[in-house]
């Protein structure tokens, strides 16, 4: 009898699990955020914790400046390790490596003669918005110069946009880390694709002079850009595969559980509704810009400053940045 009861219990639990779409990343983020907060003293905690509905949650930037949250260089070594542990819950191994490379470049920049004295390579901040819990929406942000990683958790879902990676220099040309290119793979994939489109008489070049930077800048609400270059319905299957390869390379910065829904939605609904546009020179080491835009998403990449050795990459969700759509649905459902 006891065995039958146990079998019935486990069967019910299994069925409940199979019908549940819970994102395992949300559990890890919640646990890591709680552990990090528990390690802080009251002064640090008051800086790190910000109300979920505070205006600061959508006040994202990629310039060197003071931000909301607790500054990493005010943390003790073990607290800093816990901050990085939370960062790792949102990124893939590739994304975490890229983020730490970008932060490493800040130290190298500090040693340059033309480096601004008020730019501190340790000026990165971690902010927790709301309470890390299953019961209410909450979020967190890891941000500093050339890095802005925003995660919002309405219920047990995870939304990881806006996502920004920048690198100056785009390629390190001297020293023991010579040749380091944190965003080099994406730039090379896009240039190769653009050249192949040109060879196929489908030029994606909309301007011989590239924009000075990503066009959406640090806007809280990203605006769709004008369709330009080559649209995906003009591409053959091999060209479309290459385009999806660039998209996948950008999304691979996030951990799989955070990006899976985005990949699935693009494949299901946007494959024939995208455009790929290129501005500037197709030659390596010359100023250039590209973007990929679908119905709901926008990728922008600009390497135009510092002699085409200063790159910015951003992924925006045109409807659901900071989980706006999901939070609206959540609010309507609860009320």
DSSP string, 247-264: HHHHHTTB-HHHHHHHHH
Q: Model-level pTM greater than 0.85?
A: yes
List, for residues 189-238, the tens digit of each pLDDT value.
Answer: 999 999 999 999 999 999 999 999 999 999 999 999 999 999 999 999 99
Q: What is the mean pLDDT of residues 176-201?
A: 97
DSSP 50-93: E-TTSGGGG----SS---SSEEGGGS-HHHHHHHHHHHHHHB-H
- CA 140 to CA 82: how far, in whole Å? 14
The percent of residues above 90 in pLDDT, for the chain, comes to 82
Check residue 2 and give its pLDDT: 39
- 49-50 and 124-129 strand pairing: parallel
Q: Is 41 helix (H, G, I), strand (E, B) or coil?
A: coil
CA atoms within 13 A on the CB side of 217: 5
pLDDT tens for each residue of 137-147: 999 999 999 99
Closest CA to 98 of 185, 187, 183, 189: 183
Measured on CA atoms in the order 196, 216, 302, 304, is the torsion positive or negative? positive
pLDDT in tens, 267-299: 999 999 999 999 999 999 999 999 999 999 999
- Higher-confidence residue of 156 and 185: namely 185
State the Rg of the chain over Cα: 21
End-to-end C-alpha distance for the chain, whole angstroms: 45
Does the pLDDT value for residue 250 go beyond 90? Answer: yes
Q: Cis before residue 162, ω within 30 degrees of 0?
A: yes
Mean pLDDT of the chain: 90
pLDDT score of 155: 80
Q: Is the peptide bond before 169 cis (omega within 30 degrees of 0)?
A: yes
Q: Does residue 148 contact residue 253 with C-beta atoms inside 8 Å?
A: no
**Higher-pLDDT residue of 11, 70:** 70
Q: What are the φ and ψ backbone dihedral angles of 37, each rounded to 5 degrees?
A: -60, -40
Q: Span 54-69, mean pLDDT? A: 96
- Residue 242 and residue 236 in contact, taking contact as beta carbons nearer than 8 Å: no
pLDDT at 31 over 70: yes
């Amino acid at each position: 009898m006891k065995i039958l009861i146990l079998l019935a219990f486990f069967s019910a639990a299994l069925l409940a699990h199979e019908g549940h779409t819970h994102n395992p990343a949300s559990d890890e983020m919640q646990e890591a955020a709680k552990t990090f907060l528990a390690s802080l003293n009251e002064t640090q905690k008051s800086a790190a914790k910000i109300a979920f509905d505070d205006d600061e949650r959508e006040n994202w930037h990629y310039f060197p400046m003071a931000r909301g949250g607790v500054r990493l260089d005010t943390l003790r070594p073990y607290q800093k390790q816990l901050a990085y542990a939370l960062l790792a819950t949102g990124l893939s191994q590739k994304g975490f490596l890229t983020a730490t490379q970008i932060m490493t470049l800040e130290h190298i920049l500090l040693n340059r003669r033309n480096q601004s004295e008020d730019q501190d390579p340790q000026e990165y901040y971690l902010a927790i918005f709301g309470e890390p819990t299953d019961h209410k929406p909450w979020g967190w942000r890891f941000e500093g110069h050339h890095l802005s990683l925003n995660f919002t958790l309405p219920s047990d879902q995870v939304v990881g946009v806006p996502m920004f990676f920048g690198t100056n220099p785009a390629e390190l040309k001297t020293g023991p880390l010579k040749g380091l290119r944190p965003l080099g793979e994406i730039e090379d994939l896009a240039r190769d694709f653009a050249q192949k489109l040109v060879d196929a008489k489908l030029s994606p070049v909309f301007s011989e002079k590239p924009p000075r930077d990503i066009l959406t800048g640090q806007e809280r609400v990203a605006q769709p850009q004008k369709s330009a270059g080559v649209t995906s319905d003009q591409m053959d299957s091999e060209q479309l595969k290459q385009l999806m390869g660039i998209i996948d390379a950008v999304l691979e910065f996030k951990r799989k559980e955070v990006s899976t829904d985005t990949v699935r939605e693009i494949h299901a609904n946007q494959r024939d509704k995208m455009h790929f546009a290129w501005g500037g020179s197709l030659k390596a080491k010359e100023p250039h810009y590209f973007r990929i835009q679908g119905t709901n998403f926008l990728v922008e990449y600009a390497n135009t400053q510092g002699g085409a050795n200063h790159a910015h990459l951003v992924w925006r969700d045109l409807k659901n940045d900071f989980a706006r759509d999901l939070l609206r649905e959540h609010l309507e459902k609860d009320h």
